[in-house]
Amino acid sequence: MRHMATLILMRHGQSMWNAANLFTGWVDVPLTNKGIEEAIEGGKEISSLPIDEVHVSTLVRAQMTAMLALAQHESGKTPIFQYSKNDESMSENESRMVEWAQSNDTGENTIPVYVSWQLNERMYGDLQGLDKQETRDKFGDDQVHIWRRSYDVPPPNGESLELTAARTIPYLQSSIIKSLEEGKNVFVAAHGNSLRSMVMSIEGLSKDEVLKLEIPTGKPIVYDRIDGGWQRR
């Protein structure tokens, strides 16, 4: 008997800094109206697919995308953010949510949402907040292209795709694939480069092949996990 579960990957809809042509990285900016529409349309595309749990980054543009997409789902289930760890490094806001944001719901009418910094976008370092065209004018098209698309050359004080993969792939293996192997269907809302690194791992892309990979905003990518392998729809 074939064991199958579904993995849905979706890049967030257009953010305000996407629209302004600024390097965003870990700067926490929301969606534009266009981004909201993209998230809704992406949600409609996956509305009939089974979803048992959701994984999002810590950044609001990914979380907005996930919530807007799930609002279109045929199940009508309520997504509930999970707060399950409490330690001394937590802020008072975080520890209070762990203590008080608990539900006695059986899970039949809800979908758990797990937040992970490992799914965040590449950290663009000194480029964050800069205009992309002005940066090209200053440093040259070739240098900016290397910073944006090279596998192992990071922007100044930022992350390369290789460094991004060093946090996303372990999370993919320990949390997402673990759930898939348990038969759970998983929806991930994240970012262009965090998802590029995951697709690279899933599809076995080379360093050269991943440079050409583009992840459009608000467009779901769907895989079936079958007997330990992957099949893209």
User: Would you please indicate which residues are annotated as catalytic (active-site) residues?
Assistant: 12, 121
Parallel, antiparallel, or unpaired for β 78-81 and 110-115? Answer: parallel
User: Alpha-carbon Rg of the chain, whole angstroms?
Assistant: 18
C-alpha–C-alpha distance, residues 5 and 90, integer Å: 34
- Residue 66: CB atoms within 10 A of its CB come to 27
C-alpha–C-alpha distance, residues 23 and 193, integer Å: 13
Tell me which residue of 136, 85, 80 sits closest to 106, measured CA to CA: 80
Structure tokens at 189: 């809302």
